[in-house]
Structures are given as C-alpha cells and as structure tokens.
Amino acid sequence: MPSLGRLWRRSIQARVVTSTILLSTLVVTLTGWALLRDVADGLADSRRSTAISEARSGFDYAQTQLDAAVDTETSTQSQVLTQMVDSLTRSRGASRTYELVLEGPLLTEDGEVPIRSSAAIDPDSLPRDLSDAVRSGPGTFWRYSDLALLGSSTRDASVVVGSQLRAPGSGDTYALFYLFSLADQQETLDLVRRALLLGGIAMVLMVGGVAWLVSRQVLDPVRLARRIAERYASGNLEQRMHVSGEDDIARLSSSFNQMAASLQSQIRRLENLSRVQQRFVSDVSHELRTPLTTVQMASEVLYDSRDRFDPQTARSAELLKRELDRFESLLSDLLDLSRFDAGAADLELDLVDLAQVARDAADDPVLERAGITVRLVGVEHPAVVEADPRRIDRIVRNLLANAAKYSQSPVVEIRVAQNDESVSLAVRDFGVGLSGDEAIRVFDRFWRADPARAQGGTGLGLAISREDAALHGGTLQAWGRPGAGSEFILTLPKPEGSAKHPPLVSVFA
C-alpha cells in the first residue's frame, strides 16, 4: 500500500507509535509467558502434593484391609478387593476428586492381570514407567499423564499416584493407582491466560496511545517550526514561533525566532545597502550630467574651430569630443540600468511589427557606411507583438551594431519568425564568434571578451538589452562558435503567450 509506505517514511509519529506497540507487544508476550508458566507450575505442584498425601492415606487404608483379610481363598480375596475399591471410592465424597484403578494380583498363571476401577479408564493410558516402578517394589510413585476414558477420544490431564500392596495371606501383590484430574487447575490456568491476554492487549493499546500523545507533544512544535520555515523560504519572514516555558522546545522556538530575526535584519541590511548603491550610481550619473553637458558644449566649440588650430591641438579637440560622447553614452547606460535595478523602468506599450523593425534597422545608413549588407529572412509577413517600440528598436540596433562591429564579413543576417505563443528576431554575423562560456557572459555588466578589441564599447549594451527583453516578459539569448560568428535571438511573447518555446532555433544551438 503506497499510502502506508508514504506515512511510514514521512511521519515520525507513525514510526514512534508503531515501534512502541511492537516492542511493548514483545515485552508483554514474554512477561505473560513467564507468568503463565509460573502459575501453571505452582498449580500443578500444589495439586500434586495434596494428591500424594491423599493417596498415601488411601494406600495405608488398603494395606490395612489386606492385612486383615488373612483368608487365602481366591474368591474371598477378590471380594475383599472389590469392597476395598468401593469403600475407597465412596470416601472421596461428592466432589469426585479422584478415580481408582487396582491391578492385581500381578502374577497370575495365564498372564492376564485383573483390573478393578472406579471409572472406565483405559488401563493402557496409565504411564508405563509408573506401572513398572510400582511393580518393582514398595514406595509411592507419581507421574503427570493425559488419561483417556474407554470409548472416548478426549484426554484428561491428571496426576497419577501409585503404590504396591501386598496380601500377606496369599503373598499376592497389587498395584493401586489414584488418578487425580487436573481439570480444575486447567480451568484456573485458562482463566489466568484469558485475563493476561486481555490485560496485555489493553496495556499495548494504552502504551501506543501514550506514545502517540507524547510524540505529538514533541512533534507539534517541530511541525509548526517546519511550516514557519516553509513560509520563510517563500519570503515571508514576519512569522514567529510561540515560546512558552523553558524546556527544549521553548529553547528551540526561541533560537528559531532569533534566527528569523537575524535573517530578516541581514536581508534588510543588504536591501538597504543595495538601495544605497543603486541610489549612489543614479545620483552620481545625474550629478555628472550637468557639468558634462557644459563641458560637451565647450568641446563642440573647440571641435567646430579645429581647422584654425595647429594639427596637434586639432587632434586633441577631436579626441576630447569623441571621449566626451562616449562618457555621455556610458552615463545614460548607467542611468538606464539603475532604473531597471530600482524597478522604475516602465513600458510604453504599442503594437510593434518585428518584421518592420528589422527592415528599418537594416536601412540604417551607419551600416551602409560601414559597408555591411543586411540579409533579411522571414520579414514578408508582419510579426506583431505588444511592446515598447523605443526599447525594441534599441535592442535590435544594439545587436546590429555589435554584429557590424565584430563581423569579419560584409554580410549580417536578420531572421524573423513566429508561432502561436511568441515572435523571435535573430541577428547573426559571420565574425569572431563566441565560445559557449562567452555566450553566457556577454550579458554581464561591463564584460568584454577582449577589452583591447572592444572598439569603444562600454560593456553595458547587452546587459541593458537583456533587461529590456525581460521587462517585456521575453528573452535574449546568445550562441556562437569562435571564428564562425555569433547569433543573438530576441523572443517576445504575444498577448496571452509566453517566450518559453521560441519559434527560432540558433544555427549554433
């Protein structure tokens, strides 16, 4: 049964209760067995000693009777014997505590031993070794035995006491057996056994119940701790455990609460730190903007008048303008990123046709000037998504600019495709390419494969593009092979769709 197996694996309480029940059953069984054996031995022993003393007085009486009957006539002797058995049988009273068997005379010519008995006892069920012991000489002998009545299949547990009698007149010997039934003792034993069984079952159930209660007492707070830990894991750190008393559970609860409080304060501290850092970057970028604009304006003036300068100063004016432009784009990238980090970036949604975006980007005169031809694939049909046109345009232009920058061939390819869920746009170049590790790292901030080859880039373009894609619920992924080129695939979800299954697969995948 799978549910029982699951319960066993998952519930400490089930394991504690089951093993307690099993162990207490074992203990109760062993104790009960030992107790029952003691009671049985005690009952049999006391019955045996009263039986032996009762039988002895009977033997004495019988021997006296035989001593008195000096007549050797067989018929007279037989009469005496019958009377003797009758009178001994009568003296047992109404409770019929014993039966009698008289065998003898033991040595007759034809070997047949006459038997007189108070009940129809099967003489063969008398223990043979007891008969032999009685025949061998004087003395009182006893055995436990299961006796059978003639014509009955049931056997009755009994203690048999036997002794030899001698008739002085004829010199004949007889064996007289007292058969004391142990039925009463058996009944008492059955009663004790039943009481022990019921008591044992009740005790095992009670012990099981106690184990259940005790384990619950210990496990309830642990379960509560588990539930609260699950809540912490899902980000809700407000919850605390109830602490009462000073026991281990209370100490566990208070340690748990301390841990939660310390976690909460650490997280708050880190959140604060990260907020301060974001704020710092954003403030610095803002603060630098105004002086930068002023410096840029001054540099424009110098740049415009460079023809009047000597060549060295003119070159400095050009350098100054180029580096200030780069500085400005770095500042605006940093501001963009700090807006993403602060969750302040917002989307101005409109319907955007990625096929059209691809066509427009391909017509960029910058590409033409760089001698790059864009090959367009799959742009015949509109591929419309709901997106922020400015951000999508920025992503595609950034990918194309990179492709042009790192391409070693004059051709760059843009593919557009769509399925029910999403639209993809892939930009592929035939340039230096990317290794598997680089294809993952290209999106890291300030990461550049080869800073010497970076051709004035900031290392933030792809990081911003990926944030832009994520803001739309989309993805931007990179593939490549060193020396063979790279491919970047932007996937944006259609309304109600997801970007999980892009309609395009990279040629390098």
Residue numbers of the site for ligand ADP (CB under 6 A)? 402-403, 406, 429, 431-432, 434, 442, 447-449, 454, 457-463, 486
Q: Could you tell me if 72 and 170 are in contact, meaning their C-beta atoms sit under 8 angstroms apart?
A: yes
Q: What's the full length of the chain, in residues?
A: 509
Please, what is the minimum distance in Å from the beta carbon of residue 434 to ligand ADP? Answer: 5
Of 165 and 478, which CB lies nearer to ligand ADP in the complex structure? 478
Please, what is the minimum distance in Å from the beta carbon of residue 477 to ligand ADP? Answer: 13
Rounded Cα distance between 385 and 387, Å, is: 6
Of 369 and 446, which CB lies nearer to ligand ADP in the complex structure? 446
Please, what is the minimum distance in Å from the beta carbon of residue 446 to ligand ADP? Answer: 8
Please, what is the minimum distance in Å from the beta carbon of residue 447 to ligand ADP? Answer: 6
Rounded Cα distance between 418 and 377, Å, is: 12
Q: What contacts 84, CB < 8 A, 6 or more positions away?
A: 62, 65, 66, 102
Rounded Cα distance between 254 and 244, Å, is: 9
Closest Cα to residue 28, out of 18, 36, 39, 17?
Answer: 36
Please, what is the minimum distance in Å from the beta carbon of residue 483 to ligand ADP? Answer: 11
Of 207 and 478, which CB lies nearer to ligand ADP in the complex structure? 478
Q: Which residue is nearest to ligand ADP (CB)?
A: 457
Please, what is the minimum distance in Å from the beta carbon of residue 442 to ligand ADP? Answer: 4
Of 425 and 460, which CB lies nearer to ligand ADP in the complex structure? 460
Nearest-10 crossing angle of helices 12-68, 2-10: 100
Instruction: Kindly provide the b/e burial profile for residues 416-437, where b requires at least 16 CB atoms within 10 angstroms of the residue's own CB.
Output: bbbeebbbbbbbbbbbbbbeee
Closest Cα to residue 414, out of 365, 462, 357, 463?
Answer: 357
Of 62 and 426, which CB lies nearer to ligand ADP in the complex structure? 426
Rounded Cα distance between 83 and 65, Å, is: 10
Of 297 and 454, which CB lies nearer to ligand ADP in the complex structure? 454
DSSP state of 242: -
Of 127 and 431, which CB lies nearer to ligand ADP in the complex structure? 431
Which amino acid is located at 233 in the chain? A
Please, what is the minimum distance in Å from the beta carbon of residue 461 to ligand ADP? Answer: 3
